[in-house]
Amino acid sequence: MPSKPKATKDTSKASASDSKKDSKGKASGKSKNDSTAEGSSTGKALKPATAINARHILCEKHSNKEEAMTKLKEGAKFDDVAREFSEDKARQGGSLGWKTRGALDAAFEKAAYDLEPSTTANPKYVEVKTGHGYHIIMVEGRR
């Protein structure tokens, strides 16, 4: 008998998360920031990955991050926007290369691993704030 109530709890949690996805009309990604991810509604569940090939745009000020977001929404390539707006050493268009789990800031990593891979010309990105500043993240590959 103790296993039935536990199974009921697990089922209700799954249906609660499903109803949230249905109300937004999106079925991909697990990030709280889904509303900022561009074009991320493919309906596919992401397979677990041990490493991602990520790019980011890092801005210390919210206003700079908003300017970069505007450029991306206007159709600019992610790597070009990174070269223009990123305040770190984004000489490679914001490329961080392949990063394994545990190698990144926890908030950054959660957002990045929940993001679907895309290209710099048609990026799917998410925003996240860490101790380093405001990040706009895109993932080019998973393995």
The yes-or-no verdict on residue 32 having pLDDT over 70 is no
Strands 125-130, 95-100: pairing is: unpaired
Asked if residue 56 has pLDDT above 60, the reply is yes
**pLDDT-derived band of residue 91, with 50, 70 and 90 as boundaries?**
low
What's the mean pLDDT in 102-125? 96
6 vs 122, residue with greater confidence: 122
Which whole number is the average pLDDT over 107-115?
96
Q: What is the pTM of this model?
A: 0.69
Instruction: Please give the Cα distance from 143 to 107 (Å, whole number).
Output: 20
CA-nearest of 10, 26, 42, 40 to 112 is 40
Helices (H) and strands (E) in the chain, counts: 4, 4
Q: In the prediction, which pLDDT does 45 show? A: 76
Cβ proximity of 31 and 20 under 8 Å: no
Please compute the mean of the pLDDT values over residues 109-118 and round it to a whole number: 96
Q: Are the C-beta atoms of 54 and 123 separated by less than 8 Å?
A: no
- Is the pLDDT score of 12 beyond 70? no
pLDDT of residue 95: 94
Distance, CA of 40 to CA of 34 (rounded, Å): 8
- pLDDT, average across residues 31-36: 39
Residue 115 is encoded by which pair of tokens?
């993001």
Contact 41, 26 (CB under 8 A): yes
Lowest model confidence (mean pLDDT) among 20-29, 44-53, 84-93, 96-105: 20-29
